[in-house]
Amino acid sequence: MNINKKTFYFGGAAAVVLLVSLSVQGCDLQKVVQFNVPKGVQGAIDSGDREAIGNSEYIWTQWQSWVENNSETLARNIDDSNSRVAMIENIVGMGMGALGEASGSFPGGALLFSGLTMATGLFMKRPGESKAVAKEKEKSYNAGMAKGKELVEQIKESTNA
């Protein structure tokens, strides 16, 4: 009796595929397959770094709730701060206006008021000043590093000579 080996291998492979399929069908793949939870989300909703895909809807709902609650709180805090800034600016503006009007009533008051106003302006940050200072620091750092490398090269050359 002559059995074709290809048929035997094909039948064996089909049987293995059937057994693997039946095994996988019996497993709860929702608990087996996992996904990575980003670090920020882990801290916000108190979850692990890997969660089963079966928990994905719960994780997503928790995350959405956290984002919505914190977004509302952040917006409310920003609005409160903007209100305080507007109130302080109004009070300062009214005070400066009153001082400006009153400064003319005593000798040299207008000059004193102008000088104080100009001095106050000198201490205030101008737009873009932080970026300019950061660029200046970076330029200075890079120049220092280049000079340091140059000195190291000179020392190496003098020791090799």
pLDDT in tens, the chain (161 residues): 566 788 878 888 888 888 887 776 766 666 777 878 888 888 888 888 888 888 888 888 888 888 888 888 888 988 888 888 888 888 877 776 766 666 666 666 666 667 767 677 666 666 777 777 778 877 887 777 777 777 777 777 777 75
Residue 23 domain flag: yes
First-to-last alpha carbon distance for the chain, in angstroms, is 89
Q: How many domains does the chain have?
A: 1
Residue 133 domain flag: no
What is the span of the domain harbouring residue 91? 5-124
The predicted model scores a pTM of: 0.43
Residue 135 domain flag: no
Residue 161 confidence (pLDDT):
59
Residue 153 domain flag: no
Residue 9 domain flag: yes
Residue 137 domain flag: no
Residue 147 domain flag: no
Residue 79 domain flag: yes
